[in-house]
Chain A
């Protein structure tokens, strides 16, 4: 009545069943991870540097459109007047160019304030010092594209108006550090300078335009965002929490889809385990009748089969979790290489709760799937079964 020994009776069949359970478990797990993953990882990304409020032009999300916010310094000052505001990080984003030999390469340019920034982490070299108008930060892909290292000189060229075939203004800067831009897509060649430098290159300087602000507040971010919204009604001001909620609404369809697919894969597992255990139990009808004859209780027999189902799904499920995590990683790699998507977004975020949920559902499935055939077998008339199944 040892479940593992019973499973080992038909090694090929058991191996096939385990493989089937592993595949459906992997699918179930991936669906569970996918359903919550994007949203969690989106929130993690937005809160990565502790700035809980975003300010963008009315009706847009940060970097959603080319729209910009004029009068940045005044707005920043207004926001700082709110006692809950700890830091205001202005963000400029624009497409610019840099000289490489005789040609120009296109880059994405950030304007940042190193004293208050929610955009990057320095991975090599130094951050910009306040007032370092000649300093440049590079992403690793930008360093590759420009073939530039820390200490090298780079000539940035302003955005070209395609209508006018004249070169824009240019600016010579020195590479201070290599950084990871949190919102960059994979392989995005991005550079960063102080806000005024990038404003000039992007032709934002005259009206003191920025693309967005990130704001760090103390206390409740939603009420801070509401106050700022009241003070600056021409802007779109939201807490990250509210943005995630809105994002979540957009993903409802997606979550429903993964819920349905997850349910299907669970159903397949139930059928698989149920079929296998029904076959197994039927094969053992004679054996079960013998056990009943010599005084083994129905409950003992049902428990033994349930244990076998549990062992089967635990083993298969364990393999499935490994398979599912490996698959999730692969899929994640494919999905996050979509152009324009921040590479830091992860579609499959393993969390203990999803894992525990998938595991529990699966093992319970195995236990329950075996219970019915076992109960039927334990109820079969003993004498008659012994007579017909005599082995």
Chain B
């Protein structure tokens, strides 16, 4: 069974009395273990698609099913719960909570999910080790470099063992060398079994993915194979 099925997604934004057609009928299936990169010129609808897949926005038409659950049938609290427990989000600008330490940022989704404190602590430590930040657990988010912040954000996204990791331009704010580290981390995650959909401008990142989906003007125009699975 596919993990994610998106069918005929469209998304229109009203804009000064006109309508912007950000997505014009996009269908996509993601299987468990897939590493999918979505590429295309700026403004072609990549972020919009990712937001629909992740249930943080609703399509104008079409549907998204995650593990057999159609997102449009869920109320706000059920959808929120699904994002918390089944999805992991990584943003271009990290979006960590500045008042919290690295470890606390990672613990936050687990606390929301109701995990006991000890279990949270242990898992946060384990995840920070996984992303190579075991020495930075107590640092405030604001005391970390961009690459470190993105690693914390990835650890946070993994906290509740999501079925699918969604990332929007995760290397967009990072220099080439730092971005490379994030690529390696994604590579390793996928090797360890994570299903990843990543939106990117970064040709290296796209090249590492198994499937590369090309978008243009609100459509999927092509799918090619990358180096990964």
Instruction: Name A residues whose Cβ lies closer than 8 Å to a Cβ of B.
Output: 1-2, 5-6, 8-9, 286-287, 290-298, 300, 381-384, 386-387, 390-391
In the assembled complex, the Cα of A75 lies from the Cα of B25 at a distance in Å of 106
| Complex alpha-carbon distance, A293 and B100, angstroms | 18
Contact between chains at B108 and A1 (CB < 8 Å): yes
Given A5-B99, A6-B99, A383-B57, CB of A294 within 8 Å of CB of B93: no
Min CB distance B93 to A, Å, is 6
Compute how far the CA of A297 lies from the CA of B112 in the bound complex, rounded to whole angstroms: 8
For B57, give its contact among A296, A300, A381 (CB under 8 Å).
Answer: A381
Listed from nearest, the 6 A-B pairs whose CB atoms lie closest are: A295-B84, A383-B57, A295-B83, A290-B95, A5-B99, A383-B51
In angstroms, how far is the closest chain B Cβ from the Cβ of A311? 14
Tell whether, in the assembled complex, residue B97 and residue A287 are in contact, meaning their CB atoms are under 8 Å apart: yes
Q: Is B157 an interface residue (CB 8 A)?
A: yes
Residue contact A9 to B99, C-beta cutoff 8 Å: yes
Contact: B95 with A391, CB < 8 Å? yes
Contact B57 A382 (CB under 8 A): yes
Indicate if the CB atoms of A1 and B97 lie closer than 8 Å: yes
A interface SS class: helix
Q: Is the CB of A294 within 8 A of B109?
A: yes
- Confirm or deny: B89 has a beta carbon within 8 angstroms of a beta carbon on chain A: yes
Sample of 14 further A-B pairs with CB below 8 A, known A294-B109, A295-B83 = A292-B56, A293-B95, A294-B83, A294-B84, A294-B108, A295-B84, A295-B160, A296-B84, A297-B81, A383-B48, A383-B57, A384-B57, A386-B95, A390-B93
Assess whether B76 is in contact with A293, with CB atoms less than 8 Å apart.
no
- Shortest C-beta distance, A292 to chain B (Å), equals 7
B interface residues with partner A (beta carbon < 8 Å)? 47-48, 51, 54, 56-57, 76-77, 80-85, 87-89, 91-93, 95, 97-100, 108-109, 112-113, 156-157, 160
CA distance A286 to B81 in the complex (A): 20
**How far is it, in angstroms, between the C-alpha of A295 and the C-alpha of B55 when the chains are bound?**
10
Q: A5-B99, A287-B97, A381-B57 are in contact. Are A293 and B83 (CB under 8 A)?
A: yes
Could you name 22 residue pairs across A and B whose Cβ atoms are closer than 8 Å? A2-B99, A6-B99, A9-B98, A9-B99, A286-B95, A290-B95, A293-B83, A294-B84, A294-B89, A294-B156, A295-B85, A295-B109, A295-B160, A296-B84, A296-B108, A296-B112, A298-B76, A298-B77, A381-B57, A386-B95, A390-B91, A390-B93
Q: A382-B56, A383-B51, A383-B56 are in contact. Are A295 and B81 (CB under 8 A)?
A: yes
Nearest-neighbour CB distance to chain B for A202, whole angstroms, equals 76
Give A387 to B97 CA distance when docked, in angstroms.
Answer: 17
B85's closest neighbor in chain A, by CB? Answer: A295
A293 and B89 form a contact (CB under 8 A): yes
Query: For A386, what are the chain B residues with a Cβ–Cβ distance below 8 Å?
Result: 56, 91, 95
Question: Closest chain B residue to A385 by CB distance?
Answer: B56
- The CA of A294 and the CA of B89, in the complex, are separated in Å by 6
Q: A1-B108, A382-B56 are in contact. Are A294 and B157 (CB under 8 A)?
A: yes
Q: Which residues of A contact B47 (CB under 8 A)?
A: 387
B93 partner residues in chain A, CB cutoff 8 A: 390-391
> How many Å from the CB of A118 to the closest CB on chain B?
63
Query: In the complex where A2-B99, A382-B57, A383-B51 touch, is A296 in contact with B80 (Cβ < 8 A)?
Result: yes
Q: Bound complex: CA of A298 vs CA of B48, how far in Å?
A: 23
Bound complex: CA of A390 vs CA of B95, how far in Å? 8
Q: How many angstroms from the CA of A9 to the CA of B98 in the assembled complex? A: 9
Cα-based distance from A1 to B83 in the complex (angstroms)? 19
Q: What chain A residues lie within 8 Å of B56 (beta carbons)?
A: 292-293, 382-383, 386
A219 to chain B minimum Cβ distance, whole angstroms, is 62
